[in-house]
A and B are shown apart, each in its own frame.
Chain A
Amino acid sequence: MRRYWSSLWPHLWLLLGVLIFAAPIYITLIGSTHDASTIGRGDVPLLPGSHAVENYTAAWVSGGSGRFTVSPASRMLLNSTIMALCIAVGKIVISLLSAYAVVFFRFPGRMIAFWTIFMTLMLPVEVRIIPTYQVIVSMDLFNSMAGLTIPLIASATATLLFRQFFLTIPEEYVEAAKMDGAGPMRFFRDILLPLSVTNIAALFVILFIYGWNQYLWPLLVVNDRSLETIVVGMAKMIGTGDAQNEWNVIMAMAVLALLPPVAVVLLMQRWFLKGLTETEK
């Protein structure tokens, strides 16, 4: 009997953990299916209501009609998707190219280039907010998708990861390629890229989430409604957090904002775990 219990306890603790973790999401999901007055009164029910369609339609089409209206979710989801894809793909492309240059060539300035890239690790956007913003304004990139994404594309982590991986590629591959008369770009395209596919997929998941969840930067460089991203837009709807807010639509908007990155993590879990453990080495 004691054995039985000792093997049961871990599961009970874990189930409790899973429940606590899911609680905020569950309440939000339920809240997004009730009408504003039910939630405003504070009687949040524990079972789904019948207003799901109208709440999600309101979020999708109009972005709310309360005091803090934002762009429609359809627009903001599109903006967030474009931003996350540009950041993820951009980071991967320029990091692949620079890691390739640093590992497979010997040229003057190689170490300087490497350390310059490495230094970006120590300069997150949060510590250089104002000057970076000034650069964007002076380059006329304020309120543009380019201003939103390009400054976030440089990546030391991705470059280090690809460098690490390239260093494990056997010398014979390069020798064979050279003997067969393949030039450096041919080698890159036909041998290196196919070998890097799993690393690229792993990194893509991590970087997509990183891009989707950006907050401070979009808040600063975009004030045009048509470029609003869903994470920032959703937080804007809260305003000062008054009880009179359209909480039902806000909750529907929150669900829409967290669904895409959560889906990416759950559907691509194998690559996600690989990416997470490798980018931190």
Chain B
Amino acid sequence: MRKTVFNGTALPLLLLTPQLVITAIFFLWPAGAAIWQSLLQEDPWGMSSQFVGLRNFTEVLAEPEWRGAAWNTLIFSSSVAVLAMGTALFLAVQADKSIRGANIYRTLLVWPYAVAPAIAAVLWLFLFHPSIGLVGRALNEAGVAWDYKLNGNQAMLLVIVAAAWKQVSYNFIFFLAGLQSIPRSVLEAAAIDGAKPVRRFWTIILPLLSPTAFFLLVVNLVYAFFDTFGVIHALTGGGPGKATETLIYKVYVEGVQNVNLGSSSAQSVILMILVIALTAVQFRFIERKVHY
């Protein structure tokens, strides 16, 4: 807390005005509207609407399509998080071993962060397209019936790989920083006591890295839930069938294509609760880190 401050009330309020006005108009008002609309049912022509309480929510939660999308989201997000974090941790451990090379490898691995999710999807499409893609064609020639436009599991695999590819660089930066902050003396002491590298990794490095890993898990889940809309929209459009339709994609389909405002709003509200829960978890964790 700062003791010496400037006096005045009008000036600070004036300074806050732009931020608060934008927040109120484009964040709080729409969020309130989403909550309000989630309690209404509109007739198909949008002429009138009536208050239906929580009926939109019970309907959404009972819908097989919504449950399917929830399941897809679970598979997609956990796979993206595991794949992106696992690869990044492995590469970071390798890079940490060479003291001089670490920065060079960081430069070589860092740039996919800047590639938009939708562009990442397109790049992987060029590789895995069944007829023009290098890998896609090779797979078909080898006897694997590869066509992500027909096979739902293959489509899911492709969006997972494209989404994870982009996120590895982010995780790599944080894992490498975490590894480099582990005191060398601790590792040397363990080595002198006869602990082999594998054992040193599981009993010393991994526990000391767990705060970083936990933080990255939350970030990766948030990324997989929300930022990957572009990957799915550009690559599969939720298809084939509804094989790659995630919760966020379904909100878009319901609200923009089917113009079912009540249902779309109810789904938005469910997602809002999810983000609030994830943010709360993240901040509790940061609070703990500050105390220690």
Contacts and interface: CB of A to CB of B under 8 A. Distances in A.
Interface string A8-41: 0111011001100101110110010000000110
Contacts of A139: 25
Interface string A174-193: 11001000011101000000
Contact of B16 (A113, A127, A232, A241): A113
Contacts of A77: none
Q: Looking at A126, A174, A184, which has the most chain B CB atoms within 10 Å of its CB?
A: A126
B122 A209 contact: no
Contacts of B20: 98, 113, 116-117
Contacts of B234: 235, 238
Interface string A34-50: 00000110101000000
A155 B265 CA distance: 23
A235 B230 contact: yes
Interface in B12-41: 12-13, 15-16, 18-20, 22-31, 33-34, 37
A165 interface: no
A31 B27 contact: no
Interface stretch (B56-64, B72-80, B90-98): B90-98
A15 to B, nearest CB: 9
A215 B123 contact: no
B238 interface: no
A24 B126 contact: yes
B165 A167 contact: no
Contacts of B6: 104-105, 174, 178, 183-184, 187
B224 interface: no
B26 A154 contact: yes
Given A122-B272, A231-B118, A11 B101 contact: yes
Given A127-B271, A130-B265, A243-B129, A21 B109 contact: yes
A140 interface: no
Interface stretch (A55-63, A65-73, A196-204, A261-269): A261-269
For chain B, the bracket of interface size reads: 35 or more
Q: Looking at A28, A107, A232, A262, which has the most chain B CB atoms within 10 Å of its CB?
A: A107
Interface string B235-275: 00100000000001001100110000100110010011001
A195 interface: no
B101 A135 contact: no
Given A123-B31, A129-B252, A269-B110, A234 B122 contact: yes
Interface residues of A, number: 102
A254 B23 contact: no
B206 interface: no
Contact of B276 (A13, A17, A122, A220): A122
A247 B134 CA distance: 13
Given A129-B252, A266-B107, A281 B286 contact: yes
Contact of B30 (A95, A107, A131, A265): A131
A215 B248 CA distance: 13
A172 to B, nearest CB: 9
A273 interface: yes
A150 B24 CA distance: 12
B192 interface: no
Contacts of B95: 10, 14
Interface string A243-270: 1000100110010011001101110010
A17 B271 CA distance: 35
Q: Looking at B108, B109, B118, which has the most chain A CB atoms within 10 Å of its CB?
A: B118
B66 interface: no
Contacts of B18: 93-94, 97-98
A224 interface: no
Contacts of A98: 15-16, 18-20
A130 B275 contact: no
A144 interface: no
Interface in B99-150: 101, 105, 107-127, 129, 131-134, 137, 149
Q: Which 8 A-B pairs have the closest CB atoms?
A: A131-B30, A213-B116, A215-B230, A101-B12, A24-B123, A131-B33, A261-B114, A105-B12
13 contacts: A10-B95, A21-B108, A24-B165, A27-B126, A39-B132, A42-B131, A97-B15, A101-B15, A126-B229, A129-B268, A130-B268, A213-B115, A247-B132
